[in-house]
């Protein structure tokens, strides 16, 4: 009889993503054993993830690992893992702001954080990006409430709002807003802005690549020549940003910009990076929002920039809009990002154990 191991988890939707949330203390301590378990649990590598709980999509092949924090002023530590669908790869270099939306509720559900009133503040340390985020969770009657009237594009129906206030977001991986020191530069004749706010990104104009910027994800994903060119540009961007050889890695992420069409600040398509995001990533939204107000960047002549230092930046994407409350000072090279806030929702879907062959721990 084949032996299996079981690890408790809660399956949750966080923002526009979905995946299992584990307690760190329940996971194998050895990173290689941990990754082998996650691959087996999600059913990777397999295009259908038929032998696991993954949803056969990059947005539903994500994992959160959460544990009590020993850091001053922080409640829990959060480690995110992107599990490749069709390759035996587990990437903990990036973060995911959508999955982050479920961390606060998970911490309360598992007793790591005690509900304190109608709303509970959970301060989260993101291990991936060495940053802090405050999650404000609705907890009337001392328990997490998932029902509410808040809707987010990319998710059907409504749910309770979860406010995420991002701190320490500049230079998440590279240590600076503009890792190369340039507001714009060229890679193979294409103007790009290489920027790091919550996630390192290469941002460019859709028109420079022969696109409108309003294509559907299916239309873009079908153009493999376009993705091959995008990947060549991304490889060089990673090298210039000090990230080394980014072959097989998901950062830097990529976005292409176009003028807004429905009253927003900017229209954008976000790549993850070898597929078009069906909506928009939270970390990517923070980065694109910053680029949209950055004078001298590739967003010049595209973005309809609001005035002031505390601005609501609306990004138009394939599923609707994504809003970022962005607080900044200065302009151009002197731009300072004080904070970025977004509203997300989450829902607990299932609680139980995930099974994997015991051999993954050998």
Same domain, 143 and 190: no
- Can you give the residue range of the structural domain that contains 153? 4-161+346-361
Q: DSSP per residue over 341-360, as a string?
A: EEEE-EEEEEEEEEEEEGGG
Residue 174 lies in a domain: no
Same domain, 154 and 55: yes
Residue 226 lies in a domain: yes
Same domain, 18 and 128: yes
Same domain, 149 and 208: no
Residue 179 lies in a domain: no
Residue 168 lies in a domain: no
Same domain, 138 and 96: yes
For the segment 152-195, what is each residue's pLDDT rounded down to a tens digit?
988 999 999 999 998 888 998 999 999 999 999 999 999 999 99
Same domain, 50 and 140: yes
Residue 217 lies in a domain: yes
Q: Give the pLDDT score at 25.
A: 98
Residue 202 lies in a domain: yes
Same domain, 355 and 330: no
Contact 281, 97 (CB under 8 A): yes
Same domain, 191 and 309: yes
Domain with residue 43: its CATH number is: 3.10.310.10
Q: Give the pLDDT score at 30.
A: 96
Phi/psi at 74 (nearest 5 deg)? -120, 140
For the segment 211-261, what is each residue's pLDDT rounded down to a tens digit?
999 999 999 999 999 999 999 999 999 999 999 999 988 899 999 999 999
Q: Give the pLDDT score at 1.
A: 52
Q: Extract the tokens encoding 248.
A: 């097989």
DSSP helix, strand, coil percent of the chain (3-state; round to 5): 20, 35, 45
End-to-end alpha carbon distance in the chain: 17
Same domain, 291 and 204: yes
Residue 355 lies in a domain: yes
For the segment 305-329, what is each residue's pLDDT rounded down to a tens digit?
999 998 999 999 999 999 999 999 9
Q: Give the pLDDT score at 87.
A: 95
Same domain, 128 and 243: no
Q: Give the pLDDT score at 2.
A: 62
Domains held by the chain: number: 2
Same domain, 156 and 246: no
Same domain, 138 and 9: yes
Residue 352 lies in a domain: yes
Q: Give the pLDDT score at 153.
A: 87
Q: Please list, in sequence order, all residues whose beta carbon lies within 8 angstroms of the beta carbon of residue 244, skipping any fewer than 6 positions away.
A: 238
Say what the pTM is: 0.77
């Amino acid at each position: 009889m084949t032996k299996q191991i079981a690890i408790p988890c809660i399956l949750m939707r966080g923002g526009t993503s979905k995946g299992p949330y584990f307690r760190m203390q329940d996971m194998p301590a050895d990173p290689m054993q941990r990754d082998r378990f996650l691959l087996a649990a999600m059913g990777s590598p397999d295009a259908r993830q038929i032998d696991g709980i993954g949803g056969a999509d990059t947005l539903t092949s994500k994992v959160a690992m959460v544990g009590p924090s020993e850091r001053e002023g922080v409640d829990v530590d959060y480690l995110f893992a992107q599990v490749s669908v069709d390759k035996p790869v587990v990437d903990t270099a990036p973060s995911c702001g959508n999955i982050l939306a479920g961390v606060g509720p998970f911490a309360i559900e598992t007793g790591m954080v005690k509900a304190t009133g109608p709303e509970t503040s959970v301060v989260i340390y993101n291990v991936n990006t060495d940053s802090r985020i405050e999650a404000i969770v609705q907890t009337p009657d001392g328990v997490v409430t998932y029902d509410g009237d808040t809707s987010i594009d990319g998710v059907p129906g409504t749910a309770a709002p979860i406010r995420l206030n991002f701190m320490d977001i500049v230079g998440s991986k590279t240590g600076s807003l503009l890792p190369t020191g340039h507001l714009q530069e060229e890679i193979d004749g294409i103007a790009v802005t290489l920027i790091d706010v919550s996630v390192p990104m290469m941002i460019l104009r859709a028109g420079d690549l022969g696109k409108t910027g309003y294509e559907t994800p299916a239309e873009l994903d079908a153009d493999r020549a376009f993705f091959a060119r995008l990947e060549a540009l991304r490889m060089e961007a990673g090298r210039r940003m000090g990230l080394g050889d980014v072959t097989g890695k998901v950062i830097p992420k990529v976005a292409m910009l176009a003028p807004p069409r429905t009253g927003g600040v900017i229209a954008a398509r976000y790549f993850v990076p070898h597929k078009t995001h069906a909506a928009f990533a939270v970390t990517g939204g923070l980065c694109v929002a910053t680029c949209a107000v950055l004078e001298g960047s590739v967003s010049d002549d595209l973005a309809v920039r609001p005035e002031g230092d505390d601005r609501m930046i609306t990004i138009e994407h394939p599923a609707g809009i994504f809003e970022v409350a962005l607080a900044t000072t200065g302009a151009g090279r002197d731009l300072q990002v004080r904070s970025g806030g977004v509203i997300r929702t989450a829902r607990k879907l299932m609680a139980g154990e995930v099974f994997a062959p015991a051999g993954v721990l050998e």
